[in-house]
Amino acid sequence: MDIQIRGVQKHYGSFHALRGIDLDIASGELLALLGPSGSGKTTLLRAIAGLEPLDGGLVKFGDVDATALSVQERKVGFVFQQYALFKHMTVLDNIAFGLSVRPKRERPDAATINKRVRELLELVQLGGLEKRYPAQLSGGQKQRVALARALAIEPRVLLLDEPFGALDAKVRKDLRRWLRQLHRETGYTTIFVTHDQEEALELADRVVVMNRGVIEQVGTTDEVWDAPLTPFVYDFLGTPNVLPGQVAGGVLRLSGASGALDAAPAAAEGTVDVYTRPNELRVAAADDPAALAGKVVETQRTGLLLRLGVQLLGSGAVIEVELPHPDPAVQRWQTGDTIRLRPARYRLFPRSGLAADAATGFDPTLTVTEHRSRSRS
Amino acid sequence: MSLDTAPDSPVRLPFEPLQKTNSVINEPPLVRGLLIGAALAFLSLFLLLPLLSVFVEALRKGLGAYFAAFGDPETLEAIKLTVIAALIAVPLNLVFGLSAAWAITKFEFRGKQFLITLIDLPFSVSPVVAGLVFVLIFGAQGWAQPWFGENVGRVLFSTPGIVLATVFVTFPFIARELIPLMQEQGTEDEQAALSLGATGWQTFTRVTLPNIKWALLYGVLLCNARAMGEFGAVSVVSGHIRGLTNTLPLHIEILYNEYQFVSAFAVASLLALLAMVTLALKSFLEWRYADQLAATRRH
Amino acid sequence: MTAVDRPGRRRSRRTLPGFTPTLGFTLFYLGLIVLIPLAGVFFKASGLGFAGIGQVIGSERVLAALRLSFGAAAIAALLNAVFGSIVAWVFVRYEFPGKRLFDAFIDLPFALPTAVAGIALTALYSENGWIGSVLAHAGLKVAYTPLGIVVAMTFIGLPFVVRTVEPVLREVERDLEEAAATLGARRWQTVLRVIAPAVFPALVTGFALAFARAVGEYGSVIFIAGNFPLVSEIAPLLIIIKLEEFDYPGATAVAATMLVLSFLLLLTINLLQAWTRKK
């Protein structure tokens, strides 16, 4: 089932959680909603499920306007972060719940329900555990029961809220691989929420990076990694160095360097921020006019990389550099050495983007959950 | 919130009207209204109206008649005895509560759960049976009476009997309040204090006591309310000697049975006021120090 | 065991001081105030023998009193279970004006002396009282009838169900209800199949506590009961009447029977609860 989201708006009191979200999700796609807490990713997921009434906009499942449907009618398989298993029911009753609450004429008979539940248990590799209670299961097993319960209603779409958030690292890795495989086998359109970029990039066909109630970028792993559209995406996926620079007369010059680095589009004229990742910086020749000079203040060898902290001579700012190691072409860097660097890859952003955010009244000390509970009481 | 007086202001208002209620986890307004109505009707019928009627009945013949009830020397005697009984019972049970809670929560030993059950026992014993217990011991044919009668004096139908019955019925209150809280708090603070060189007594007064003070006050409040209001047990052991072994609740009964309704309700209003003060303090403690009172509370 | 390793063992087991004196005092005081006196009842009762007890209990008046005490207590506890659940639900889930005030008043029956409650309820529900006069028009007489006993017992048992159900209801996660909704359950199905089973054990506990309290209640009941033998005379009152007649064996027999019956009932309910919890 494909999903169209158009202009979706949501407020919690004065907090603008979703500011006009547009998104198309293809049938059978595995999509990740990625962002920090407060970015609106969980709110968007809950909006798709119908758990949050919208203030505006449209959600369509195929040709059906889902906003006109109640949660019960939407038939979404929702897996909650803490699983929300019914503690007083066995695994079997938990999975059968969705079928057994159907109106009498739509409800399958007991034998059919039983058969379906057992198939699902096999699918999630929990055969033989149907008589257990949730308290008797491990975290990973609970996760699978929650998934089986969501699949039992043959949902239009599968929604997972931080599916691996409550698990330890080892189980998390196993389940990730398994979920990928399950998705291939079942083919459900699947959307999951995560704040873990590695998880999103590894698992999803496409990643939606969200921040402060808007979508910053939608793309494949390669797209969001190689071509971040906004400073936020750059920041969120890794720890870039931000170097101040000037664009004048179609030429970019880094502040503190004597010569021009590169040609620049005329649209970027003015003060700019140059985003470059630690591994995109290269050691420059001594006579390179575009390079920045600095002093090595920290060296750290990690595996095949040499990580340097370099204090720039001009501004005094410390930037991070990752060099391959051992690198036959270069000397072994020591603290106190003078080094000249130039970015081999970078991206320009005008120095104005931040001012807009300050006026919206967003309070970064509150998480979405707090806003949600505030607006309830 | 009507803050929308500046329509052209671009700044978002701090409060917006609440969104339409979320039907997923809420009931329709009609159902809500019916449930709230049923709950409040029940509470009004069984709690508020009785309390209100105490004061209305007490003031039925005006303020003069109301205050005249307290001029009666027998009423004053009853107040005195009630205060004495509470002044003895509450400290005794306070010491017991602290000591039982310390032993139960700071150490592991066999039969602990059973001990807790035994401490709760007086809760589930009818007050009349509690009184009977002491009649069987100290009554005319009681097994302790021959010795007590010669060496100590009268127990039944006098102050000691009333105090004993009061101690019995208020026995678990303070321990019950402290045990769950101190169980939750564990022993780390005390161990830290000891490792820093504090003596056992210093550890108790400077570490443990500050940690439990609000729960302790809470327990004392409830214990005191029950001590001053106990009726059944005290009624059995008192022998109803006017001006000698009458507590306030017993005095109310006598006045009521003599059809002195205004006086009966006037005295009752005194105890009702005490109950309201207790409830107010209790609510205040719960509101202000919720984290320092035990989460799991049973009465 | 040698003298050398003894203090070492003690230190490893009990790091805090004061175990022996506090436990010692606790047991001494518990024994002196509660256990020995209570044991006295059973000692005295055992002196009567089963035949003796049977003779006392078998009398029509005692049987009627026991039936009334336990029956009225059961009805009152049931009333409290129903309305107490509603009150707990309303307090946990809804906001309305005066909520804090009502919440504080829930505990009134714990704080208000029973004699005060007794005369207040009598004034209220007698034929010229505020409520009694309204009910009298409907032909319903409350004060001085078994119905009055139920009213008084409902009053004193009211906080138990509310206060045991409330915290459990508060802990029922919203997630569970949302999960049920996404799986297609209607609101009533969620309430019945998801919330009710989670709250049920607490409800049973509250019921049991309210019941136990009501069975033994004396102060608030005797004013409103009318106390007519065979009709509205509760068991605790019968104990007092027997004591006033210096019929100590009779009083003891009734008391012991009440203790045993209450104990058996609470035990049954505890077992039932353990069973539902395991399930």
Q: Tens of pLDDT along C29-49?
A: 999 888 888 888 888 888 888
Residue C14 has what pLDDT? 56
A74 contacts chain C (CB < 8 A): yes
Question: Is the per-residue pLDDT at A371 higher than 50?
Answer: no
Chain C contacts in chain A segment 159-198 (CB below 8 A): none
Residue C83 has what pLDDT? 95
Contact C38, B133 (CB under 8 A): yes
Higher pLDDT, residue A167 or C4: A167
Angle (CA) C54 C55 C56, round 5°: 90
Nearest to B14 among A14, A52, A70 (CB): A14
Contact B266, B70 (CB under 8 A): yes
Residue of C nearest to B112 (CA): C23
A14 contacts chain B (CB < 8 A): yes
Q: How far is B214 from chain A (nearest CA, A)?
A: 28
Q: How far is B177 from chain C (nearest CA, A)?
A: 14
Torsion, Cα B179 B181 B186 B187, to 10 degrees, reads -70
Residue B176 has what pLDDT? 86
**Contacts B141 to C, Cβ<8 Å:** 248
- Average pLDDT estimate for C22-34: 91
For residue B217, give the H/E element and its range: helix B209-229
**Contacts B24 to A, Cβ<8 Å:** 50-51, 70-71
Q: How far is B16 from chain A (nearest CA, A)?
A: 5
C19 contacts chain B (CB < 8 A): yes
Confidence of residue A146 (pLDDT cuts 50, 70, 90): very high
C84 to A142, A352, C76, C164, C206: CA distances (angstroms): 34, 60, 11, 10, 9
Q: For chain B, which chains pass the contact test of at least 3 CB pairs under 8 Å?
A: A, C
Smallest Cα–Cα separation from B176: which of B298, B86, B293, B289?
B298
Whole-number percent of chain B with pLDDT over 70 = 82
Question: Is the per-residue pLDDT at A79 higher than 90?
Answer: yes
Higher pLDDT, residue A357 or B262: B262
Q: Which residues are CB-contacts of B57 (< 8 A; sequence separation ≥ 6)?
A: B261, B262, B265, C120, C123
**Contacts C178 to B, Cβ<8 Å:** 24-25
Residue C205 has what pLDDT? 86
C195 contacts chain A (CB < 8 A): no
**Contacts A52 to B, Cβ<8 Å:** 22
Cβ distance of C178 and B132 shorter than 8 Å: no
Q: How far is B279 from chain A (nearest CA, A)?
A: 25
- What is the C-alpha to C-alpha distance for residues C144 and C127, in angstroms, rounded to an integer? 10
Q: How far is C153 from chain A (nearest CA, A)?
A: 33
A13 contacts chain B (CB < 8 A): yes
**What is the number of other CB atoms lying within 10 angstroms of the CB of residue C60?**
9
**Contacts C19 to B, Cβ<8 Å:** 103, 106-107
- Average pLDDT estimate for A147-159: 92
Higher pLDDT, residue A216 or C231: A216
A75 contacts chain C (CB < 8 A): yes
* Mean model confidence pLDDT for chain C: 85
DSSP state of C193: I
Residue B64 has what pLDDT? 83
Residue A359 has what pLDDT? 30
* Mean model confidence pLDDT for chain A: 85
Per-residue pLDDT of chain B (299 residues; tens, 9 = 90+): 333 333 333 333 333 333 334 556 678 888 889 999 999 999 998 999 999 999 998 888 888 888 888 888 888 888 888 999 999 999 999 999 999 999 998 888 888 888 888 888 888 888 999 888 888 888 767 777 667 766 666 677 778 888 989 999 999 999 988 988 888 888 888 888 888 888 888 888 898 998 888 889 989 998 999 999 999 898 888 876 665 678 889 889 888 888 888 888 998 999 999 999 999 998 888 888 776 665 444 43
Cβ distance of A84 and C179 shorter than 8 Å: yes
**Contacts A82 to C, Cβ<8 Å:** 173, 175
* Separate counts of helices (H) and strands (E) for chain C: 15, 0
Q: Which range, of A143-152, B23-32, C57-66, averages the lowest pLDDT?
A: B23-32
- Average pLDDT estimate for A88-94: 92
pLDDT, tens only, C85-137 = 999 999 998 888 888 889 888 989 988 999 999 999 999 998 888 888 888 88
Question: Is the per-residue pLDDT at A374 higher than 60?
Answer: no
- What is the C-alpha to C-alpha distance for residues B173 and B169, in angstroms, rounded to an integer? 9
Residue C37 has what pLDDT? 86
pLDDT, tens only, A222-232 = 898 888 888 89
**Contacts B279 to C, Cβ<8 Å:** 104-105, 107-108, 111
Confidence of residue A19 (pLDDT cuts 50, 70, 90): very high
Token pair, residue B110, equals 């066999």
Nearest to A14 among B13, B20, B24 (CB): B13
Q: How far is B48 from chain A (nearest CA, A)?
A: 27
Question: Is the per-residue pLDDT at A372 higher than 70?
Answer: no
Residue B223 has what pLDDT? 93
Residue of A nearest to C192 (CA): A101
Q: How far is A70 from chain B (nearest CA, A)?
A: 8
Cβ distance of B12 and A16 shorter than 8 Å: yes
Q: How far is A113 from chain B (nearest CA, A)?
A: 25
Token pair, residue A103, equals 């109106």
Residue A255 has what pLDDT? 85
C188 contacts chain B (CB < 8 A): no
Residue A251 has what pLDDT? 86
pLDDT, tens only, C180-203 = 999 988 888 998 999 998 898 889
Nearest to A71 among B11, B20, B24 (CB): B24
Cβ distance of C178 and A71 shorter than 8 Å: yes
Interface contacts (A, B; CB < 8 Å): 29
Kindly give the pairing relationship between strand A15-25 and strand A3-12: antiparallel
Residue B149 has what pLDDT? 66
Confidence of residue A48 (pLDDT cuts 50, 70, 90): very high
Q: How far is C4 from chain B (nearest CA, A)?
A: 23
ipTM of the complex: 0.83
Confidence of residue A132 (pLDDT cuts 50, 70, 90): very high
- What is the C-alpha to C-alpha distance for residues A236 and A215, in angstroms, rounded to an integer? 13
DSSP state of A267: G
Contact B220, B174 (CB under 8 A): yes
pLDDT, tens only, A325-353 = 776 666 678 888 888 998 888 888 887 54
Confidence of residue C165 (pLDDT cuts 50, 70, 90): very high
Residue B109 has what pLDDT? 87
Residue of A nearest to C184 (CA): A72
Cβ distance of B15 and A71 shorter than 8 Å: no
**Contacts B12 to A, Cβ<8 Å:** 14, 16, 360-361
Chain A contacts in chain C segment 77-116 (CB below 8 A): 95
Residue A226 has what pLDDT? 84
Residue of B nearest to C252 (CA): B132
- What is the C-alpha to C-alpha distance for residues A349 and A355, in angstroms, rounded to an integer? 13
DSSP code per residue over C210-249 = HHHHHHH--HHHHHHH---TTTS--HHHHHHHHHHTT-HH
Higher pLDDT, residue B293 or A71: A71
- Average pLDDT estimate for A133-139: 91
Question: Is the per-residue pLDDT at A179 higher than 50?
Answer: yes
Interface probe for C, chosen from A79, A101, A143 (most Cβ of C below 10 Å), is: A101
**What is the number of other CB atoms lying within 10 angstroms of the CB of residue C181?**
27
Residue C67 has what pLDDT? 92
